[in-house]
Amino acid sequence: MFRNQYDTDVTTWSPTGRLFQVEYAMEAVKQGSAAIGLRSRSHVVLACVNKAQSELSSHQKKIFKVDDHIGVAIAGLTADGRVLSRYMRSEAINHSFTYESPLPVGRLVVHLADKAQVCTQRSWKRPYGVGLLVGGLDESGAHLYYNCPSGNYFEYQAFAIGSRSQAAKTYLERRFESFADSSREDLIKDAILAVRETLQGETLKSSLCTVSVLGVGEPFHFLDQETIQNVIDTFEKVADEEEGEGEAEPAAPAEEGGDGTGDQDVAPMET
Amino acid sequence: LVQFTIPIDNGDALKNAEADSQRTLYPYVTGTSIVAIKYKDGVLMASDMGGSYGSTLRYKNIERVKAIGKHSLLGASGEISDFQEILRYLDELVLNDNMWDDGNSLGPKEVHNYLTRVMYNRRNKFNPLWNTLVLGGVKNGESYLGMVSMIGVSFEDNHVATGFGNHLARPILRDEWRADLSFEDGVKLLEKCMRVLLYRDRSAINKLQIAKITEEGVTVSQPYSLKTFWEFQAFHNPTAGAQGSW
């Protein structure tokens, strides 16, 4: 984007009807490391790439538990993301306390969006520089939403935000139609594969990604490194044998000792 | 976000003596017992239609059981004006819930807990809503029945009653209630309880309504009266054992 004349104040319109400060805030989201979300009818998986400032430091926390039935993954200014996560936790727990019932995720995202909108209409504020992928349950099942610095929110079957998210989106676009009826395991596998897309060639290791799951009868929790590595192992070898993305049947050098479940997509484990 | 305001907007009793006169001190127009039971298809709730003014049976057409949203019934005993205030709070709550228009709706559990919060908070300010509330309902096939008192005591059970009903109706229900009661048997059981209350509770009147809530919705019966029998031998010569010289 080029420098514009009408971009000093969030409350100044451009002649073409744009609020540049809001659009710049959305740029900040694109600079953050990738976050991915997908959902089936009963589960939502949130995954992200672990980016660390340097080799010496730990990676930033980008996925937060909001309640047993709601999680959020962020991309952009993580400090803004933390503040909004705290707000979401507060809303969820207040609702829980008053009504002894989980706050429907659809209502939470509207509160969040309204909060973001306020910052686009006050001259003494700035928009939040963070995009949020909110996954959660309500009466009608599992939902995934994307909340934007502009105050807009959208519902998705699957989405990716942050740097190199386009590669993940392309992968998800090809496969999203099957997600609604996906099993929990397939959903997790697709999430990790989507993360791999954003790494653009770098080898996928469990230390590089964080994965969280929530669903009907399953409260929000993070998957441990071992579980993630096991999923990676089921497809990493297959990826070596063919070009491009996605899983396929194992190639010609027949490897014995499969896991015996008859599942075509899972490559046999090597000892 | 729902907000409710307590009808005191001229400060508190420490700073302003007149504020004190707006606190609830004692009830004026009161309703007597509510009796409610879970049955096979949902919940049944019975109450009479009386509003007493102290010992005067002043009002005889007060509906003390009302539908709340799609899934709940609220019955109240105690101060009638406080019940009406609660209905206004719940009206706002249900309105906001409907305005979301998002497929989610407040079930009986949520309404019960909201009321518990309201009653307990008022109690903590020494300005209670002088009611004992019975909240029953059905959502997604599950029946719910609970109670909240004016001091915020709250619980759920298969059968509940307020006031005199606790002493006269609950023992009957403990013996005769079953989870698979049909509608007819449930009504008979409630009428049995209401008849005892009519005989023994001086604030009861012989004009009652029974409300039913199931997955399909709410129905409140037309007011009717119970048959009573006053020809017991023991009542024929009531002063027989109390002859006096003055």
- Dump pLDDT digits (tens) for B47-74: 999 999 999 999 999 999 999 998 999 9
With b for 16 or more beta-carbon neighbours within 10 A and e for fewer, the A195-211 pattern comes to bbbbbeeeebebebbbb
Enter the DSSP assignment of A61.
P
Q: Is residue A267 part of a domain?
A: no
Domain that holds residue A203: 27-236
Cα–Cα nearest to B193, from B164, B225, B168? B168
- The pLDDT, as a whole number, for residue B9 is 61
Contacts of B102 in chain A (CB under 8 A): 104, 106-107, 138
Q: Which residue of A has its CA nearest to B117?
A: A98
3-state secondary structure B96-161: HHHHHCCCCCCCHHHHHHHHHHHHHHHHHCCCCCCEEEEEEEEECCEEEEEEECCCCCEEECCEEE
Q: Which of A95-99, B194-198, B211-215, B236-240 has the lowest mean pLDDT?
A: B236-240
Q: Is residue A51 part of a domain?
A: yes
Name the pLDDT band for A241 (thresholds 50, 70, 90).
Answer: low
Q: Is residue A250 part of a domain?
A: no
Tally of residues, chain B: 246
B76 and B29 in contact (C-beta within 8 Å)?
A: no
Contacts of A105 in chain B (CB under 8 A): none
Of B100, B104, B113, the CB nearest to A98: B113
Disruptive mutation site among B102, B112, B114, B142 for chain A (greatest number of A CBs within 10 Å): B102
Q: Is residue A17 part of a domain?
A: no
Cα–Cα dist A202/A217, whole Å? 35
Q: What SS3 state is found at A55?
A: coil
Cα–Cα dist B61/B223, whole Å? 9
The pLDDT tens digits of the residues spanning A54-64 come to: 888 888 899 99
Sheet holding A63-67, edge to edge: A63-67, A70-76, A130-138, A141-147, A153-155
Disruptive mutation site among B113, B121, B142 for chain A (greatest number of A CBs within 10 Å): B113
Look up the CATH number of the domain holding residue A139.
3.60.20.10
- The interface predicted TM-score of the complex, written ipTM, equals 0.86
Cα–Cα dist A166/B78, whole Å? 64
Q: Is B116 a catalytic residue?
A: no
Q: Is residue A55 part of a domain?
A: yes
Q: How many domains does chain A have?
A: 1
Average pLDDT over residues B83-87: 98
Tally of residues, chain A: 271
Q: Is residue A31 part of a domain?
A: yes
Q: Is residue A129 part of a domain?
A: yes
Cα–Cα dist A108/A85, whole Å? 11
Average pLDDT over residues B107-111: 96
pLDDT at A245 over 90: no
Cα–Cα dist B37/A34, whole Å? 55
Task: Say which amino acid occupies B79.
Answer: E
Cα–Cα nearest to B68, from B104, B40, B93? B93
- The pLDDT, as a whole number, for residue B3 is 54
Of A97, A100, A104, the CB nearest to B104: A104
Interface A-B, measured as beta-carbon pairs within 8 A, has a size of: 33
Say whether A104 and B106 touch across the interface (CB within 8 A).
no
Q: Is residue A71 part of a domain?
A: yes
Say whether A101 and B107 touch across the interface (CB within 8 A).
yes
Say whether A99 and B106 touch across the interface (CB within 8 A).
yes
Cα–Cα dist A135/A212, whole Å? 10
From chain A residues 115-154, the ones with a CB under 8 A of any chain B CB are 138-140
Task: Write the burial class of residue A105 (CB in 10 Å: 0-12 exposed, 13-18 middle, 19+ buried).
Answer: buried
